[in-house]
Structure 1
């Protein structure tokens, strides 16, 4: 059995206070894994928990921890088979595993994770797991990790998007823990998630001020604080946070002998923050495109959809960020017809946005979007069975596309009615964190169309509605300024 000289540093392990029944070496690795788990650094957390298993093969919580790394509640993802395999390393059956617990608290943690990965639909298991966590917290309200994971479990039952009452319930659970453990990474992280919408973001500045300091070597922690800055429209701080997050990732890539990356979730947010300040993101667009081209050439298999983490999907997102604001559109990648469908949908949408004045080209782009959307729907049950956001928002984008085609054909009044209906439907969707789920929000587009028709007062109202969902958005601010200036001139004349 080999052990590294020391466990990972800079991830918040020093703020872990969970008492364990293990030896000192296993406990050190366990606390590192626990901190990484709270930071959503799932792969690194699993590795730390496996080191704890090596140091103490009968340590129940080390297997609990590894199993927990396969549940990503806020990303609507759960790998049941890998979690069950992790638990099976301790013992093959729940009864045999239960016989290995060393105290009553371990029994409760093990019972909760067994419930999470039991049989039945995901939503039912989420609620059953939450009930176990509530009981655990009620039994010991001072257990800060039980409190943190209960708050996260509440968030995890908000299926299909943000349900504000649930998010505020989670915040209340977490706030009580924040008073006594103001540097606990799980408490801070889940508070930020509870508050990362434009209405509640001011409440998230307190955990955001601490979280990046708690885990300087966790890229997700560095990125997470930008959730609050983004919701506040504070692009300078969002830029800085994602530069820090990307630096952590690049450092870890260098340690494995790999080059820095222009793609990835943190770079997507960084590109958006740059663009909202009027800064040039062309280097990021071209850099990520090159990585997407290399990904295709290497034949990497991400299934048909391409997921959220492929370089191609990232390129599609970054290219849209830049193109919508700058009007400079990136060259597409030669994707196989039945692969990287998420990226293909985004680039078809880019073609649609470029064709707002060309009815034939706009209709062609819309037809392509519909065809790709159909392929995504057929692939989802096998590849992303718990995913709900992609199909819901694709349908909203297609509805906007119908308005664009109608407007491009010269039927302004019908097109405006369709666009307003699309905007109202978007507003009725659950609030999303981060960049808009539709790259060109329909209220912003409606404002632009109304302004072009000389209806400046109504245009100003549309831009204000767009800014309510995306504070500080560059094009909406510019549009509102232009609409107000036009209204003033009309009044003055």
Structure 2
């Protein structure tokens, strides 16, 4: 038998290895693997603008040239948190280019939503499945492999590690990616997003947010229409101490991405922080209209959750102008809503907060004590939101002198707090803890223990000031320091009440009751100059709404009575 020369065997081996390597490099996921992800599919829906503008994004990927335009579109949607629509576009790329690893990365990113509620278990499983395919595809650049690894840091060990821990991992991974590719603007933008996701609500120095703001500000001059830069700038500075820094971005975002309902709404976060109620209302009217259109175009059987999110901000803004006509119309509209999709934390918050805000801001204690929760709604799944209803009823009962009812609501609030601790949701538990402390304070006051009540109410205000509100809400249902001012005023301590109201107005500028409280406290403290200032501010804020609330009459009467003869 003739022996094959060694060099020929070596060449054959090289050819076989090369062939195996090529097959591995060009591996195409099976249809069964893709189907198992359960990708969202369908026609892209946009209602905010007829020309489907979502901003300008350019992210080069090593897929087919035809996929590049769609990838840029999907990424622009992702940057505006249009997660469902982004996933549809990424799914379309996968259908045409099943070996495009970055399309699977996009699916994982679309199920992350770092600044909203943590992903559900089905969303986490979808992200994991998409990443497994992305990791198995060898035909991707080192940069793309690093992007896949970065989001994988969030999904890894999701069954055991909590959401905040995994957000921290994502932040570190994006920091490494940003360091490795300093010229990659998308790496920088997603790093800024990761910093915001990992920021602690108790960090009053805003260290991560300030770092994110610097990164985004450096990119903006060369990318003035990038939706991510503008959007994340708004989130970065969505705090009373920083909000003014985001006002230019807030006033531009809707024009850059008018096709996104979220882009129409998001500026109102800053308008709310700064007490710019006219701009706030305009922003959310556009957002709500876009969300209503989306529900219709998507064939939803009810309303879209984004509509209710905008409605909560609308209700808050109407009430701060003293516009009870439009606020009551908003409440009536909410009560007529039969079905919302998806039924999630935003929907639960709106169903609890909108009616609660209306009765509390108007100090309608009878209605507050009798506030009904929405029937046939799974409130047990949303203890933080359910706590709003119990807190509202409790304040109503206290002001009516019904100790038994107030005590019962206090026990229900405690149960909500305990449920959140069992869920290891320490942030929301801390928010309910503020309500518990405030509730105990008002019960003590009603029972005739004013000093104990003041200590407890001051503690509640300090607790609330030590953290930040959740992005889902325009503001606390009632700010604790404003409630402290109300208590001090009731105890005939007007100078201390004025100090509490003024401190609260720094965090919640142009609040209707805050301005009236400060004016009334100053008037009782014989500080006519400050009283006139705050009454005039109240009239300015409520002027456009032509408010008929009694506080407006009081303000007008004070100004008339104290007008100098020369004026």
Deviations 1:196-238 (A, max 9, x none): 1122111101211221111112111111111111111111111
Structure 1 contact 261–288 (Cα < 8 Å) conserved: no
CA-atom RMSD, angstroms? 2.9
| Higher deviation after alignment, 31-40 or 421-430 | 421-430
Structure 1: distance between partners of 2:54 and 2:288: 21
What is the correspondence of 1:88-487 to structure 2 with a 5 Å cutoff? 88=132, 90=133, 94=135, 96-97=136-137, 99-101=138-140, 103-119=141-157, 121=161, 122-160=163-201, 164-258=206-300, 264-280=308-324, 281-291=327-337, 294-295=338-339, 307-310=344-347, 312-328=348-364, 329=367, 330-335=371-376, 338=380, 341-357=383-399, 358=401, 359-378=403-422, 380=423, 387-430=425-468, 435=473, 438-487=476-525
Structure-1 residue corresponding to 2:12: none
Question: Structure 1 230/337 Cα, relative in aligned 2: closer, same or farther at 3 Å?
Answer: closer
The offset of 1:447, in angstroms, is 1.1
Structure-2 residue corresponding to 1:58: 99
Structure 1 contact 230–434 (Cα < 8 Å) conserved: no
| Higher deviation after alignment, 123-132 or 28-37 | 123-132
Structure-2 residue corresponding to 1:384: none
Structure 1 contact 231–434 (Cα < 8 Å) conserved: no
Structure 1 contact 26–51 (Cα < 8 Å) conserved: no
Using structure 2 for the length normalisation, give the TM-score. Answer: 0.76
Structure 2: distance between partners of 1:314 and 1:131: 34
The offset of 1:170, in angstroms, is 0.7
Question: Structure 1 211/490 Cα, relative in aligned 2: closer, same or farther at 3 Å?
Answer: closer
Q: Find the residue that maps to 2:156 and give its secondary structure.
A: coil
Structure 1: distance between partners of 2:149 and 2:458: 50
Structure-1 residue corresponding to 2:126: 82
Structure-1 residue corresponding to 2:14: none
Question: Structure 1 433/69 Cα, relative in aligned 2: closer, same or farther at 3 Å?
Answer: closer
The offset of 1:376, in angstroms, is 4.2
Question: Structure 1 203/316 Cα, relative in aligned 2: closer, same or farther at 3 Å?
Answer: same
Question: Structure 1 365/113 Cα, relative in aligned 2: closer, same or farther at 3 Å?
Answer: closer
The offset of 1:341, in angstroms, is 3.8
Structure 1 contact 7–32 (Cα < 8 Å) conserved: no
Structure 2 contact 346–472 (Cα < 8 Å) conserved: no
Structure 2: distance between partners of 1:235 and 1:434: 18
Rg larger in structure: 2
Question: Structure 1 332/50 Cα, relative in aligned 2: closer, same or farther at 3 Å?
Answer: same
Long gaps (5+) in structure 2: 1-30, 32-40, 532-567
